Amino acid sequence: MSSAPILHYEFTETIWSYKNPNEVFFVTMPKPMSEEILDLVGISLNPWGTVPVTATVGDFSWESSMFPRPERGVYDLPLNARVRKRLKLASGQAISVSIEILLPF
């Protein structure tokens, strides 16, 4: 039995947030990595073009989805309250993130 291929990426970026009306937190995947994922996966996985991922920061992993931002050519990984609290994360903080994407084909 063969297993589906997994893409693996690691990057360090700064957490940012905006209010809409609640404050929402993200870390942005670098553009070259984002472009590679877009080329491999495309935007047809679901109606929003999100890409399901397993994200890891330190020794904590969680399931999430990255959001495509076509106007910037990148993907944004949301950092929900549970993740931020567990890892003591705040806007403006640089974090190292590992992303795994199970390819759908």
Which one, of 40, 80, 42, lies nearest residue 60 by Cα? Answer: 80
Cα angle: 93, vertex 95, 101; to 5 degrees: 140
- Report the candidate in 6, 13, 21 with the shortest Cα–Cα distance to residue 96: 13
Please provide the average confidence, as pLDDT, over all residues in the chain. Answer: 89
- Residue 1, pLDDT above cutoff 50: no
Q: Annotate the chain with three-state secondary structure.
A: CCCCCEEEEEEEEECEEEECCCEEEEEECCHHHHHHHHHHHCCCCCCCCCEEEEEEECCEEEEEEEEEECCCCEEEEECCHHHHHHHCCCCCCEEEEEEEEECCC
Rounded mean pLDDT, 10-14: 98
Kindly report the pTM of this predicted structure. Answer: 0.88
pLDDT tens across 67-92, in order? 988 889 899 999 999 999 999 999 99
Residue spans per domain, the chain:
6-102
80 and 86 Cβ atoms separated by less than 8 Å: no
Name which residue leads in pLDDT, 104 or 29.
29
What fold characterizes domain 6-102? Elongation Factor Tu (Ef-tu); domain 3 (2.40.30)
